[in-house]
């Protein structure tokens, strides 16, 4: 008999507002780490800086090296001073100055409307609706918009971070291993925020192979799951790249029964988009809308390092597929009881 479909409410855990991290810790590695054992169901309270003790020589650590850019622009409508939040998803055509964007509040932004930025010196005109909140917009700014974005843009902090954006977020809402040439994500892979360069060097000295895939995190982080039947949700396509050396390194570890540590849901989605029927990985790149929800038959063995995710998020559903819904909920309730810090700037979970 096939397992019963999982409902969104099956993954619901009440998290007190006081436990939602509003700021990063002074030191990245000082986050806490909840270790979840899938085979025994045991939970272990750890410190993230002790993560290296779980590695053995020959293991592989897989990171997503995408780099987030300050994609959140705050503008006003052409008539009046109504605030409009614009999130830049990706540039579509530079010559035509077209961008794929998300707007908030969506009900106030229609085709033909203009949204002004930078004291009215720059605007975008809405030319097409793509989703409930998605739009295609033509900007008045000609050429490469990077200098403008760097000057007036903010990091796209999640809505549960209710404070104002600060300059610190440009550094801390970013992994230390982000590749400057891959600056196309609207949010970082948050599971990677806890690593420091020193920690990665120490892990490499243990004989652990550190490899990088790319998945540019996009509109999915802005769109909550609003369907009780999680199987009905559809992901937005995001660009990914799993290189040949990465695939070969992971395959060698799998064949020799070493552990593969996958950091973050975006990294896992990139790898699952590159698995052959032989349960080995192949080099692959392109666009993926891979959506992982329970029950899910993973094609290769791995351990997942992830953050505590907000309700109604695809990352929470993915974590439920890895740990199993019941164990995940049990883990979250334990984390609440022990006053872990939650969500993007919060603590981490290692599912082994």
Q: In this predicted structure, what is the pLDDT of residue 24?
A: 98
Distance from C-alpha of 293 to C-alpha of 133, rounded to nearest angstrom: 24
Spatial distance between the Cα atoms of 261 and 208, rounded to a whole number of angstroms: 10
User: For residue 121, how many other CB atoms are within 10 A of its CB?
Assistant: 11
Q: Compute the mean pLDDT over every residue in the chain, rounded to the nearest whole number.
A: 95
CATH of domain 72-152: 2.40.10.240
Tell me what pLDDT residue 5 has: 73
Quick: pLDDT tens for 267-285: 999 999 999 988 899 999 9
Q: If you average pLDDT over residues 7-28, what whole number do you get?
A: 96
- What strand order describes the sheet that includes 238-242? 43-47, 32-36, 348-351, 303-307, 260-263, 60-64, 209-215, 238-242, 284-288
At how many degrees (to 10) do helices 265-272 and 314-323 cross? 70
Q: Rounded to two decimals, what is the model's pTM? A: 0.94
**Bridge partner list, 282:** none
For the 8-68+171-351 domain, the top CATH level (class) is alpha beta
Model pLDDT for residues 168-204, shown as the tens digit of each residue: 999 999 999 999 999 999 999 999 999 999 999 999 9
Predicted pLDDT at 51 = 97
Beta-bridge mates of residue 126: 137
Would you list the domain boundaries of the chain? Answer: 8-68+171-351, 72-152
How far is 205 from 199, CA to CA, in rounded Å?
10
Name the percent of the chain lying above pLDDT 70: 99
């Amino acid at each position: 008999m096939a397992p019963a479909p999982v409902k969104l409410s099956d993954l619901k855990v009440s998290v007190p507002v006081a436990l939602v991290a509003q700021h990063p810790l002074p030191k990245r590695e000082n986050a806490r780490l909840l270790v979840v054992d899938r085979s025994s169901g045991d939970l272990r309270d750890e410190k993230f800086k002790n993560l290296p003790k779980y590695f053995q020589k020959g293991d592989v650590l897989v990171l997503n090296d995408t780099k987030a850019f300050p994609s959140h622009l705050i503008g006003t409508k052409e008539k009046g001073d109504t605030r409009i939040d614009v999130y830049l998803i990706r540039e579509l055509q530079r010559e035509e100055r077209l961008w794929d964007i998300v707007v908030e509040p969506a009900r106030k932004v229609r085709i033909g409307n203009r949204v002004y930025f930078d004291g009215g010196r720059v605007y975008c005109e809405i030319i097409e609706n793509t989703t409930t909140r998605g739009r295609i917009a033509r900007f008045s700014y000609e050429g490469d918009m990077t200098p403008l974005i760097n000057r007036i843009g903010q990091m796209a902090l999640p809505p549960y971070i209710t404070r104002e954006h600060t300059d610190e977020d440009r550094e801390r809402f970013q992994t230390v291993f982000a590749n400057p040439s891959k600056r196309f994500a609207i949010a970082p892979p948050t599971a990677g925020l806890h690593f420091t360069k020193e920690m990665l060097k120490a892990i490499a000295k243990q004989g652990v192979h550190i490899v990088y895939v790319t998945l540019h995190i996009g509109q999915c982080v802005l769109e909550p799951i609003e369907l009780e039947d999680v199987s009905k949700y559809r992901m937005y396509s995001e660009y990914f790249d799993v290189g040949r050396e990465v695939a070969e390194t992971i395959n060698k570890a799998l064949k020799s029964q070493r552990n593969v540590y996958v950091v973050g849901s975006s990294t896992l989605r990139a790898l699952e988009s590159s698995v052959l029927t032989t349960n080995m990985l192949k080099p692959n790149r392109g666009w993926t809308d891979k959506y992982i929800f329970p029950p899910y038959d993973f094609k290769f063995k791995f351990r997942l390092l992830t953050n505590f995710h907000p309700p109604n998020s695809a990352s929470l559903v993915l974590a439920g597929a890895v740990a199993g819904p019941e164990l995940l909920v049990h883990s979250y309730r334990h984390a609440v009881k022990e006053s872990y810090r939650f969500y993007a700037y919060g603590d981490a979970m290692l599912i082994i």
